[in-house]
Structures are given as structure tokens and as C-alpha cells.
Amino acid sequence: MEAVAHGSCDVRFAPVADRFAEMLTHDDGYSAQLSIRLHGEPVVDLAGGTYLAARSLTGVYSVSKGVSALVIAHLIDQTAIEPDRVVSHYWPEFGAAGKANVTVRQLLGHQAGLPVAARRLSLDEVLDSRAAADVLAAQRPVWRPGTAFGYHALTIGVLMEELVRRVTGTTLQTVYEAAIRGPIGADFFLGLPEIEDSRYVPVDDPKPTAAEVAELAARPPVDALQEAVFSNVDAPEDRSDRGMSTNNPLVRRAGAAAIGGVGSASGLSQLYAAALGTGRVRIAAPEVFADMAQQQSWGTDRVLGVPNCFGMVFMLPQPRMPYGGLGSFGHDGAGGALAFADPTSGLSFGYIPAPMQYPGGADGRSIELARLAAHVVNHA
Amino acid sequence: MEAVAHGSCDVRFAPVADRFAEMLTHDDGYSAQLSIRLHGEPVVDLAGGTYLAARSLTGVYSVSKGVSALVIAHLIDQTAIEPDRVVSHYWPEFGAAGKANVTVRQLLGHQAGLPVAARRLSLDEVLDSRAAADVLAAQRPVWRPGTAFGYHALTIGVLMEELVRRVTGTTLQTVYEAAIRGPIGADFFLGLPEIEDSRYVPVDDPKPTAAEVAELAARPPVDALQEAVFSNVDAPEDRSDRGMSTNNPLVRRAGAAAIGGVGSASGLSQLYAAALGTGRVRIAAPEVFADMAQQQSWGTDRVLGVPNCFGMVFMLPQPRMPYGGLGSFGHDGAGGALAFADPTSGLSFGYIPAPMQYPGGADGRSIELARLAAHVVNHA
Amino acid sequence: MEAVAHGSCDVRFAPVADRFAEMLTHDDGYSAQLSIRLHGEPVVDLAGGTYLAARSLTGVYSVSKGVSALVIAHLIDQTAIEPDRVVSHYWPEFGAAGKANVTVRQLLGHQAGLPVAARRLSLDEVLDSRAAADVLAAQRPVWRPGTAFGYHALTIGVLMEELVRRVTGTTLQTVYEAAIRGPIGADFFLGLPEIEDSRYVPVDDPKPTAAEVAELAARPPVDALQEAVFSNVDAPEDRSDRGMSTNNPLVRRAGAAAIGGVGSASGLSQLYAAALGTGRVRIAAPEVFADMAQQQSWGTDRVLGVPNCFGMVFMLPQPRMPYGGLGSFGHDGAGGALAFADPTSGLSFGYIPAPMQYPGGADGRSIELARLAAHVVNHA
């Protein structure tokens, strides 16, 4: 059996490793990294399948948002950002067109009504997000702020980046590198240095089954807002080196806050372990994370059209995606990667499958592995 | 082939005409008018089937609400109505029973909690809506204003009519005739003159299939609120000349803002073209329509029990009803009529099927025709 | 035929009695009490099946919440509690951790974000709820108050009890006994006296069918919040005399506001008849009940994951549970008991099935019986 995972696993977490091995055994095309820490100590560190090795780095799409949120947490911890202030306190232009009363808390909870820029953006405008931020600041929200929320799939990154720029004078990526990634030594980058390109494994297209393709074709027509959100950037939709994935060197070099992160599962569990206050590097006080993990948004996501649940930036466990215990915070990504921390159990979790899973987002495998790990801790 | 459509079609929009002809060919019992304008210029003007001719006028139920909303837009444009004022500023009695803080914006977004009058209304009280307005003004909202929204199927008309009466001293229908319909010469009436009765084609009952009847019978019992909303008027529910349809001369003469409009598809596309600022007649500035097309209400409609989405009065495109691009505004009606404008593409759309379609509201045909028209424009 | 019901029934309500008899005839294992009053006069008073006799008392779980809400109504009527005040006006410690602006109205509408105590509670801490109240007062809400609601299955009782303690200096149960149960002579207890134990029939486990068991097993994993809510108390989950049901003498003696009520269907219809202002005992003015029956919370319940609808404490009729006409208020309970009043029709309704029904809450039988009773009144 060649498909089983390689790496290390604390004996207590053998049920997790066993299940992961089963998954690999039963699906030749499946490859993944799985890294779990308990109170900061590595307890599962495995890679399996032919696609990803232990040292591989790859793009994780929206899992990047959770990592960018660590920068926000750090700035809240320093009181550089205060969540209950209006955004225009930091970013005066943002107050235009009915947004004067929008708070940082609402902005970060996907409530500001800016899931799509009023005009199509070039890829350059997304990567150096100042121009994109100008567009968003000037426009009328799609919904009246405070009446709805919806996944700001790309724009939450633009908004975080501009907010950080206004309060620090530098970029979110610079703060991340200086205050978080560097000190921790985490194997996860917002802006992959060229020297690490040798470890980069391209993201590949998901391979839906015939049944999934049929199910997709039978769906009702896509909502106008959803369509606009997911075609807002003038770039190829494929995984080419000119598209909007990290396969494009410009994207992975820029490390866009919403979708440009590149790293390993181990890097992700390292970061979320630090968020739990383990290790030497303080990202933010537990109270800051508890505040960011308080539910701000719940109901039917106006963009995605399904139930969803957000704190500030972070996704929270919810019926559709019960990945951690109450109080957990994290983010999933297109293709199936998932990373989160659970302050109650002390677990931090990083998981990256390849090729990308269909339909994407936290899927049955990641959820099952996360639940098994929680079960180990809760029944120890 | 006799069932195909008659009229004119710009060659670019041939795919729309072809699909419409197919629909007519494959369903002997289907008849409809379809009128589409692009930046005000007619590009599709067709009628097909044995029921409706090009010059026919018929009742369109709630499509009337969108037409009445043009009057509201006009009064907002004139600053006679300011959406963020409380309703009781214009209509002091409305402030009773916990409604003192309800704004015009909330009222028009189906949020005031008044989808049903506290007592059963006579048809007279609906047609001359002053008495109905008095009842609504005095009553406690079904829900605490600001906590929910639900389709005010009939009462949104009463509320619009009273608001217009308070700010202008005259009726919504009079303002419509003088400031909108007359100047535009639109073939759509809120209050059909007797002289036009010769062109009036009665609305008929929808003909559900056996499967649809079975599906209806298998549904859970109707909610108490929904039941109350749809039995709030003491009038026959049928299409007789004493009932609440425009087949009753009293109803079509009064042109009740919520359900009493009578006209042609061409009239509807004329009106929505004017809303886009084409032609000589200014209804309101683009900013007014953009404000009215901003989403105010989203979620599960408390009355209808399904997801729904409103701006001020206007329905907005949504997952269940993706009829236009982002920023579109319009309204559908029982029986299947649909009319809207899309400021981005420049399309205005009017569509009236007959007999009434089951289950009513924008249906697969209208949505498909609207999407085809948008496709033509976006891929020109 | 031995399974038919015994008792009395006004001839007008024969259709209700007939249907109840049919239900009993077609299910040997079914037993129930059914008591309906019209403007306070008993019109149906039946018991059938082998489990519950006319004089039996049993536990009704969350139906208790509606009875406890009568105490709240009484205190609002006396202006001892004002719904629009912040909770911390009465209970200063409650203002901690972001709850300073939470109103009594929000608290009672399941909106405060406190469906689960921050630590596991002992059964003692629930029964004498002061310690549990301290925990809840100190903690950060799960969701930002005002952004969501969710069934506070157990904690709504703790919160009501502490609120009553703060404004009266005594317990909710004492006020209930002195001001409501005693004067009315209602056969329903919050705190069953030992002398009544001889009439107590134990609650039993529901008996799901094989299909129901399969359906349950096929469900998605339970949400973290829901899991926390329903495992928040350190007590056996079974129906033993040490568990959290009224089979435990400590529970039925304490009469916990959320789940500890014991009585008969007749007692329930008596209480709700009194809420309608029939009889000599005034619980509260009709306006107080109208205010409490105004919808405060609607949408997808964050805890239960299904649509739900609350006024203050009371459940309201809704699509999932259309038990009464618009304006009705009441509560259902695990196991299938249901009690409510309908101010429009004048009906008050009490129903207790045994053994507990699966999946619990108002089920098809109670809803059908309630609708039949309403039909009798509305078509008299």
C-alpha cells in the first residue's frame, strides 16, 4: 500500500491517522497534508498521496483570509484598530454613499454590502489593492449596511489591506511578515519569496465526478449578485500562470489577503497554535480572539445563498461546517483546505488536500478529521 | 405553425424571439406578450398564442406595485418624500402602537409589520384606501419593526396610496396619470378608462397540472399569518366581476396600487425605459432609482415563507428569481407577468402571459427570456 | 373498541373528539389528554389510551416556559418589569461582557446570545438557578446581541427566574403559586407538592420508528453550538430519577421555569383561558399579552437550525407549527405537549401525549386537533 500517509502522529491521535490513511487508501487520486497541534505541541503531522509531500507548499485560496485576520487581531491587540469605531475614522473616503456609520466590526463581518466592486477590476488593481479600495470606498453598498451579510469573497481582502495601510502606513503583508510569520517561523506566506518557489506545487482544477457535473448543470440559474462577485476581476478563470490563482507568480508574490496565501498544513497549524497563545510570540490576547470569534453574522449568506456564519473575518463552526467546538475560529478555502483554532480543546488544525476538491470549501474529509481530533481530546 | 409570435424583433435579439416561438409552439394553451427595449429603443415586440393579441390589455396583479413605485420615485426625486424620515412625519396617525420610529424606507421595504389589516376589509375600503389606511395606522405591527420583513401583498398599496395622499393631497393614480403615464403615453393604466375596456382581456385562472395539484395538496398547513394576509378582504376569490381581480370593473377602474394595474407588455417596457432616463419624460434621477434598488430586505419572507429580496417597493433579482443583472429593479405578479429595468445593460422588459401561469410569480419562461436578452447585450 | 377517549365534549366540537378518537383507535401505543376551552368554558375534556387518565399529571418539558411566561406577563402588568428597559437596570451584573444594552424584550425573545452557560452546570445549579444566573451574567454572548436569535432551551428559564428574583425578591415559582395557580385553582404546577405525587405519571422515552431512526442517523453532524446547548448540564440524559426530567423528584419539586412543569392538559387550558381574561383572576391586561405575542424573533434559529418564531418567551404560530390563528401565543414541549391561547377565536388549548412523541415538539396530531378546533369556531 503506497498511498498511506508519512510523518508522525502522537499515539493518542492514532484514530485520526488511521482514518486519514483509509481516506488515502480508498482514493488513489487523493493527496493531502494534515497537521494538528494540541496546546501548541505537534500531535499529527502527516502527508499522503502522490501530489503533496511533507515539505510542499501550495495555494490555499480563502484559508488566506484567516491568516490575514491574525494581522487584524494583532492590530486590535495594539489598539491600532478598535472594532466599534466607524471605518471612516481610519479611512475617511470610506464614509461616502451611505457608509458613514459602518463600523469596523460590520466591515469585517461581511456586512458592509461591498462584495463586488462597482466596476470590473484588473488583476493589478487587486494585487496592489489601493485602486480597488478607492472604488469600494466610493460606491453605494449593494444592501443597506446592517440589513444583511454576504461573503466578500475577494473584497474582504481589499478592505483588510486598506484598513491596515491606513492605520500602519505599511501593508498587511509587511506586518504579517514582521510581527507574525517571521517571529513564529511559520511555513505559511502572504507573499511567497522567490527562493521558496522550488517547494511550490501548483493548484490544480478539482475533478468533479459525473454525478457532480450533472448536479451542477441542473442547478437554478446563478443569482445576479453571485455572478457579479465571482466575475469581478478581469483575469483568466483557469489555473494558468496569468490567472487569479497562486500559480500566477504575480499572485503568489503579492500574497493577496483574500486568496494569495501559500504554505503548508504545518504552517497553518503553527499559526493557529500561536493564536491560542502557545509559544513565545504573542499575536493578540485571548480576549481579542474571543471578540473576533463572537458571531457577528448568521443567516442566509446573500452572496452564497446558503446558511453561513462569521465573526470578524473568521468563519465560525456552523451546521453546514461543524469543524470545531463552540468558540473555534478559522477559515476554509476553495479546493478544500481548512485551518482553525479551538480555544476550548487547545487544538489547532491545518489541512490541505490536492488536487482541489469539488465542490470546495470545508468538505466531508476535513470535517471528519477535525471531529475525530476533537473526540480524542474530549474523551482523553 | 400558427402558434408562433407576431410582431417585430431587432435582428440581434433573434435568439430571444426564437426561444419565445419555441415556447409557443410547444404549448398550445400558452399565449403571451413580450416587449423589450434597449436604452429605450424597442428591440423585441411580440405577441403569440390565441389569448393575447398585440393590442390587448389585461390585469397584471402585483406588477402594478412596480408601476406605483415609479410614482414614489417621482416624489422622492421632488423631495416631497424623503426615505429616511419617519412615516409619521407625513402621516402623524401612523406613529401609533409602536410605529413612531418606522421610516419610509422601512415601510416601503415591507418591514413595517403591517401585511394584514387588523380587521377584515371590504373591497370598497381597499379601492378607496383611506379607511384601510386608518386601520393600518392604528394597529400594532405583527412583528416588531426592524426585526423582520414580509410581503405586504395588498397593504403595500394602501400604504403607498396614503403616503402619496398625505404629501400631495391627491391620489397616487392621479399623480401617475399626470406626471408619468400621460406624458410618456404608456399603454399601462392605474385606473383603466372605460373607453379602453374594449381592449381588455379578462384574467383567467391558472391551469395547474395534475402533478402541481398533487404537490399543492401535499404541502404543510398554511401559516396563520399567510392565511390572514390572503383572506384579509371580504370579496370573492374568483375571477368574477365582483371579485378582487381586474375583471371586476370597480377594481380596474380604481387601479389599486398593489394589484389593479391593467396594460400591455409594451406599456410596461415603456415605463421601465423611462425609469432608465431614456426619452423626454423624467420620472426621477438615476440616483433615486439606485437608492430604491438598494437591497433593504433579504432573508426568509415572513409572509411567503421563502427567500425574498426587496429594495423600496421594487423586487430585486435574487437566487429564486434571477431576472436581471445586479442593480435591476422591477416586480412580478400572480399569473406570471414580469417587468423590470436593468440600468447596467440598458434593458427594460415587459412580459405578460395568459392564461395565468401556475404557480404564479416570475416563472421559468420569463426568467429565461430575460436572461437571453441580457446575454445578447453582454455578448454584443 | 377500548382505545377511544373518555370525558366530555360540547356537541359543536364533535369533529375534534371524533378525530381524537380516530387517532387513538389507529395507534394502540398512543395516549393523550386533550382539553379545550372557548372563552373560558370547557368544550373538550378528553383522555384516551392506557397511559394517561383524566386525573393524571405528567411532565411537559418546555410547555413549562409558556406557563412561566404568565408570571412575566403578570409582572409586566404590574409595571414591575418594563420590556424596553435594559436587563442590567434590574440585574446590574448582567451588563458585563458586551451585554449592557440588551433589553428585557431581547432577553425574552431568545436574542441575548446566552443559550449555553460558559461552563457545564450541575443539576443543582439549574434547579436553584442563582449560580447558573451568575455564570450567564458574566459571560460574553455567543452572538453579538441583536444580530441573531436561538432557542435558549434551558437558560431562558434561568434568566426568567433571576429576573423575577431581582424585581420581586422571591422566586418565579412562588409568584406563580400565589398570584396565578392558587387563585385559578389550575391543575398545573411549577414545583409539584409531594401530596400530588400519587397522580404523577412518569415521562417515558419516545419510540421512534425504524424510518425515524434511519433519518436521524443520516443527518449531518450536529452543530457545535447545538451540541453545547444540549449537553450543558452534568446530569444523566435518561428519564431516571437522577436525570433532568420531572421523573427526578428534585426536578419536579423545584419546577424549573424552563422544563420542570407538571400538570394536566386541563390545567394548561385553564391557565391559557385565564390569560385570555376569562374568569375572575387577572393575570395581565390583553395589551400585555398582545405585546408579548408580537413577533420579536424570526428566521433560522441559531441553536435549532430551523425556522422559528418567538414573541417574548412565547412561541408564535409559524409555518412549521401553525397551531393557532394570528395573535396566538403558547409553547410546545419535547415529547409533543402543546398549550396556547388564541385571543381572536377565544380558544385555549392544552394537550399532552404519552409516551413522549418522536421527534418531539408540536407534532402533526396536536396541530391537526388545534386546527380542527379553530375551524369549528370560525365556521360556527
Residue with cell 487547545: A346
The better pLDDT of the pair A323, B70 is held by B70
What's the half-sphere exposure (Cβ side, CA atoms, 13 Å) at C255?
A: 22
- Which partners does chain C have (≥3 C-beta pairs < 8 Å)? A, B
Strand partners, B340: B330, B349
Do residues C122 and C234 touch, judged by C-beta distance below 8 A?
Answer: yes
Do residues A176 and A283 touch, judged by C-beta distance below 8 A?
Answer: no
Residue C188's φ and ψ, nearest 5 degrees, are -150, 130
Residues C9-20 have pLDDT tens digits of 999 999 999 999
List CB contacts (< 8 A) between B300 and chain C.
Answer: 298-300, 307
Do residues C136 and C30 touch, judged by C-beta distance below 8 A?
Answer: no
The better pLDDT of the pair A223, B192 is held by B192
Give the closest-approach CA distance of B309 to chain C in angstroms.
14
pLDDT given at position A221: 66
The better pLDDT of the pair C223, A91 is held by A91
* Cβ pair C299:B148 closer than 8 A: yes
Beta carbons within 10 angstroms of residue A6's beta carbon: 10
Residue A221 Cα to chain centre, angstroms = 27
Find which of B106, B294, B318 to mutate to test the A interface (most A CBs within 10 Å of its CB). B294
State the DSSP code for A327.
T
What are the residue ranges spanned by the domains of chain C?
59-351
The string of DSSP codes covering B76-98 is HHTTSS-TTSBHHHH-GGGGTTT
- Which of A296, A320, A371 faces C147 most closely, judged by CB atoms? A296
Q: What b/e sequence results for A46-85 when a residue is b if at least 16 CB atoms lie within 10 Å of its CB, and e otherwise? A: bbbbebbebebbbbbbbbbbbbbbbbbbbbbbeebbebee
* Cβ pair B147:C326 closer than 8 A: no
- Which of B298, B325, B367 faces A148 most closely, judged by CB atoms? B298
Q: Which of A120-124, A262-266, B239-243, B339-343 has the lowest mean pLDDT?
A: B239-243
Beta carbons within 10 angstroms of residue A21's beta carbon: 17
| Chain B interface, Cβ < 8 Å to A | 105, 290-291, 294-300, 307, 317-320, 322, 324-326, 328, 367, 371
Residues A49-73 have pLDDT tens digits of 999 999 999 999 999 999 999 999 9
Do residues A283 and A73 touch, judged by C-beta distance below 8 A?
Answer: yes
Alpha-carbon Rg for chain C in angstroms: 19
Give the closest-approach CA distance of B224 to chain C in angstroms.
5
Alpha-carbon Rg for chain A in angstroms: 19
| Chain C interface, Cβ < 8 Å to B | 105, 290-291, 294-300, 307, 317-320, 322, 324-326, 328, 367, 371
Whether the predicted pLDDT of C216 surpasses 90: no
Distance CA A95, CA A82 (A): 17
Whether the predicted pLDDT of A1 surpasses 50: no
* Cβ pair C223:A319 closer than 8 A: yes
> Residue B153: which of B123, B181, B120, B116 has the closest Cα?
B116
**Mean pLDDT estimate for chain C:** 94
| Chain A interface, Cβ < 8 Å to B | 98, 113, 116, 140-144, 147-148, 220-228, 299-300, 302, 305
Distance CA B299, CA B331 (A): 17
pLDDT given at position A380: 78
ipTM, 2 decimals? 0.93
Exposed (0-12), middle (13-18) or buried (19+): which is C202, by Cβ within 10 Å? Answer: middle
> Residue C301: which of C379, C225, C207 has the closest Cα?
C225
CA dist C359 → B223, C302, C335, C371 (Å): 21, 19, 7, 20
Strand partners, C202: none
The chain C residue lying nearest B303, using CA atoms, is C319
What value does the mean pLDDT take over residues A357-363? 79
Sheet (strand B188-190) strand order: B58-59, B261-263, B188-190
What's the half-sphere exposure (Cβ side, CA atoms, 13 Å) at C363?
A: 19
Strand partners, B8: B45
- Which of B290, B299, B367 faces A140 most closely, judged by CB atoms? B290
- Tell me the three cell numbers of residue C297: 424573533
* Cβ pair A298:C148 closer than 8 A: yes
- Tell me the three cell numbers of residue B234: 371580504
E strands within chain A? Answer: 6-9, 31-38, 41-48, 58-59, 121-122, 188-190, 233-234, 261-263, 297-300, 307-310, 329-332, 338-342, 347-354
pLDDT given at position C170: 98
List CB contacts (< 8 A) between B290 and chain A.
Answer: 140
List CB contacts (< 8 A) between B226 and chain C.
Answer: 319
Residue with cell 400530588: C196
Residues A226-247 have pLDDT tens digits of 989 999 999 987 888 999 999 9
pLDDT given at position A215: 80
- Tell me the three cell numbers of residue B364: 421559468
Q: How many CB pairs under 8 A join A and C?
A: 58
- Which of A116, A221, A226 faces B367 most closely, judged by CB atoms? A221
Find the helix or strand (DSSP H, E) in which C216 lies.
helix C210-217
pLDDT given at position A3: 44
Distance CA C174, CA C178 (A): 6
Distance CA C80, CA C100 (A): 20
Do residues B153 and B115 touch, judged by C-beta distance below 8 A?
Answer: yes
Secondary structure of chain B: what % helix, strand, coil (to 5)? 40, 15, 45
Residues C263-282 have pLDDT tens digits of 999 999 999 999 999 999 99
Distance CA A54, CA A35 (A): 10
Distance CA C304, CA C152 (A): 10
Do residues A101 and A111 touch, judged by C-beta distance below 8 A?
Answer: no
> Residue C20: which of C205, C201, C212, C265 has the closest Cα?
C265
Band of pLDDT at residue A377, cut at 50, 70 and 90: very high
Residues B3-40 have pLDDT tens digits of 488 999 999 999 999 999 999 999 989 999 999 999 99
Residues A183-216 have pLDDT tens digits of 999 999 999 999 999 999 999 888 788 888 888 7
pLDDT given at position B221: 67
pLDDT given at position A220: 67
CATH class of B59-351: alpha beta
* pLDDT < 70 regions, chain B: 1-3, 220-221
* Cβ pair B319:A220 closer than 8 A: yes
Distance CA C320, CA C306 (A): 9
Residues 6+ apart with CB under 8 A from C48: C3, C4, C5, C6, C20, C21, C24, C30, C31, C32
Distance CA B53, CA B41 (A): 21
What value does the mean pLDDT take over residues C87-106? 98
Find the helix or strand (DSSP H, E) in which C332 lies.
strand C329-332
Whether the predicted pLDDT of A4 surpasses 70: yes
SS3 B217: helix
What value does the mean pLDDT take over residues C300-307? 93
Residue with cell 464614509: A95
* Cβ pair B140:C290 closer than 8 A: yes
- Which partners does chain A have (≥3 C-beta pairs < 8 Å)? B, C
